[in-house]
Structure 1
């Protein structure tokens, strides 16, 4: 059993100061961190409880965007009037994840930090996991890799990001606000999560001791034409094999702007920018959708058990974009 101390932060400044010490971790809802601790995957020396900090508000920004506090619960965020009306894509993504009980506890900040569900990462009986034990190897590459990455992987790690929320935020061009010892900064969601490269133990670009304050959403452009599609092994409480966040701005049947992000296929939410560009200025038809789906999976690499994901992702993109184009 690993000893761990527990302290409750009185305010943001105190939380950041506490987090500068080695082995410190923030805990809010705890739905992921506590599981990792129980399994011996994570062994923090100090837990800093931030659950009572005033970071749960969901408020309108001056230019029409919305700020979601880091401690806003997933269920509260999904059902908030501003989110449901202006960002239905995000509501759909939230309601696709976990169970109602977990959504009632989990927070937006914690969801951003959610760690992979790779079998080998979670099972400490396996010594080979570069994410858990850097330099030990990647057992998934030659092991059972059905749920693993087909885009952006490296020789050191083929794990995927498990979050539904993160995929929707990627499509919506969200910005993550954080505070550390050097002050506050804003990180575009595209730069927040990392690909494994040579440092698969890192999931984000957060600096040591930085606290997530919230997420800013830009003024809504896609409220009328958005769809989140999640393909999984069972209808509920399962992580995505492939997910697609599709958001379109339409004008008389012609696509004016497009956003497509994929989940379940990479170490971070995967923006399909080449596919987006193909859609702009054109009406949606079957040929264009097939071309878009092919472009999105260019460069995909399958392993022994997950080759089906390439075709699955292409079909999911086609379906999600088609549905997004029809909704209004």
Structure 2
């Protein structure tokens, strides 16, 4: 059975606060069948640590062990009604330049694979993470909080300007390489865009580097993804620097489509929009892959 182009490895589970209650295994599978998908992965967020050391950071939350246990039991005992291959996974974060990920190994052993994300900027020796606000102050509705956030963002930007941009990007890339080398269950890189989105978000002046220099500094990530068969996930949102994706393709990287679905059909990130992401990958003539 040819599954390429008929897979979605980023479907959120209802128990997470980011997902709607309708995202149960039975509803997910029924929709996947209607879409013609042959293989899906249902993901549970797993955050063992947050940058501010608290139980909540912006829109992310520390894992509740009982919720993870519930997810594992539900998905491992679920009986497919449509003969779709359903994998269990976690979406978890890259934390630092040592390649540390946000889930302990004993929990990794309970699921099929890891979708590795970079929801906030990782902590790097060359640029320690201390911006404990969302990097855009307009995110906050309260005027006082917006002002406080903007002050923190201004402090962060001043620190960024004192740090060599190429060194930051190299550290960021090497962190991904170390994580992939150290965790054989990392199978996809979630919502990767052109690979530099988290740096853009955190005001790193990425485009100070030429296209050639950016490709050179990103090449170790391309190589490890190709070697370990880690898929580069794309949404339907156009990326800022498509030339990076073409360079990844030349190094043997394979891609996979997802709508990063938190709901079945309504609003942003819904499962029924899956094939918009497939179409975007096709428009760039990028090769697709599957988890093996």
Relative to its length, the structure with more helix (as a share) is 2
Q: What TM-score bracket applies, with the shorter chain setting the length? A: under 0.3
Relative to its length, the structure with more strand (as a share) is 1
Q: TM-score, normalised by structure 2?
A: 0.28
